[in-house]
Chains A and B, each alone.
Chain A
Amino acid sequence: DVKVTQSSRYLVKRTGEKVFLECVQDMDHENMFWYRQDPGLGLRLIYFSYDVKMKEKGDIPEGYSVSREKKERFSLILESASTNQTSMYLCASSSSGQVNFEAFFGQGTRLTVV
């Protein structure tokens, strides 16, 4: 069974803290994504990576950075957490091939910044 695993389901952090959200996939997928989900706004892409050490900004990259040192792992970093980054964060992965290229999602991390 394919799997995308996010390291935490719930996190509470203080304003100004550096926050790491980790995501691991076991499907040997080339592409990995970080989305942010807020009510009424759907999923907004923060960053994605199409290969090790490669990354591209999505629609809302401000205040975030990412790291992909290994193919199976994609980390989202909040350099200095702020209350407006309180949200649900979803990691996903997908294959670049033309078969079974849908995105597979992790369970999500609900982050609260206080």
Chain B
Amino acid sequence: AQSVTQLGSHVSVSEGALVLLRCNYSSSVPPYLFWYVQYPNQGLQLLLKYTSAATLVKGINGFEAEFKKSETSFHLTKPSAHMSDAAEYFCAVTYNFNKFYFGSGTKLNVKP
């Protein structure tokens, strides 16, 4: 089965520090890739998506992700964390536009 692995269920950074959230997919066929954010007791909101147009994808709120086929990775980064970035982040893939597979999520804590 296709799968998505997010390394680290909890990540803690200081405000102003670099944010790095890791995502790897397991497939020989490059999928379409997404990062979603979830604030407490809310649904998921799209941060960014990779559609093969460019390997470096910029999203909302200053986040970006780079698709690396050789590493089967799509890590999410933000140069400088803000308190409002504290949330849970999910990586997701789809291969055929009608089924999405999600990672187990990474909770980001931002310390003042």
Contact = CB atoms under 8 A, between A and B. Distances in A.
A107 B39 CA distance: 10
B90 interface: yes
A96 B44 contact: no
A41 to B, nearest CB: 6
B77 interface: no
Contacts, number: 61
A82 B101 CA distance: 26
Interface residues of A, number: 29
A94 B94 CA distance: 11
Query: Which bucket holds chain B's interface residue count?
Result: 20 to 34
Nearest to B92: A103
Contacts of A42: 6, 90, 102-105
A33 B100 contact: yes
Contacts of B104: 40-42
Nearest to B96: A96
A35 B41 CA distance: 15
The 8 A-B residue pairs with the shortest CB-CB distance, nearest first, are A105-B43, A42-B104, A43-B102, A105-B44, A101-B97, A107-B43, A42-B102, A31-B98
